[in-house]
Structure 1
Amino acid sequence: MNTSIWLAVGLVMVLEGLGPMLWPKAWRRMITAMTQLPDNVLRRFGGGIVVAGCVIYYMLRVHNGG
């Protein structure tokens, strides 16, 4: 697999781990609240994150000449 993929996976793991490491109670409340949301809201939220990630990736690729 490409090294860039592993770097991206590592960065995601670091970012995902910050919430429970630094603010465990708030993180737990957020997760509990998210379980109560309807599926369509979660899909929109997830889709927005995917789109934002693709835009950031594209902008970095274009900016860095990749």
Structure 2
Amino acid sequence: MAIAIVLIVEGIGPMLFANKWQHFLQQISQQPVTQLRTMGGILVTIGVVSLIFLL
């Protein structure tokens, strides 16, 4: 069920705002790899902490 919710939430942006989404992805792709890894690590940490508090 959680995967389905993630897919729905992640699909809303490209479905409703395709042009803005494409521009956003172009900007993200130009970021340094270290910054992308840092952002990914922060998101994973927030997700794990949120999951711990929900359980």
Q: When the two structures are superposed, what TM-score results if normalisation uses the length of structure 1?
A: 0.78
Deviation at 1:14, TM superposition (A): 0.7
Which residues in structure 2 correspond to 1:14-33 (within 5 Å)?
Answer: 14-33=8-27
Show the 5 A alignment for 1:1-66.
7-61=1-55
Instruction: Give the RMSD, CA atoms, in angstroms.
Output: 0.7
Question: Which 4+ residue blocks in structure 1 deviate beyond 2 angstroms?
Answer: none
Q: For residues 35 and 44 of structure 1, what CA distance do their matches in structure 2 show? A: 14
Question: What is the distance in 1 between the residues matched to 2:41 and 2:9?
Answer: 18
- Could you say which structure has the greater relative contact order, defined with CA pairs below 8 angstroms and 6 or more residues apart? 2
TM-score (norm 2): 0.92
Unpaired runs of 5+ residues, structure 1, are 1-6, 62-66
Count how many residue pairs are aligned between Structure 1 and Structure 2. 55
> What is the identity percentage for the equivalent residue pairs of Structure 1 and Structure 2?
35
**Can you give the 5+ residue segments of structure 2 that lack an aligned partner in the other structure?**
none
Hey, what's the Cα distance between the residues in 1 that align with 2:54 and 2:19?
34
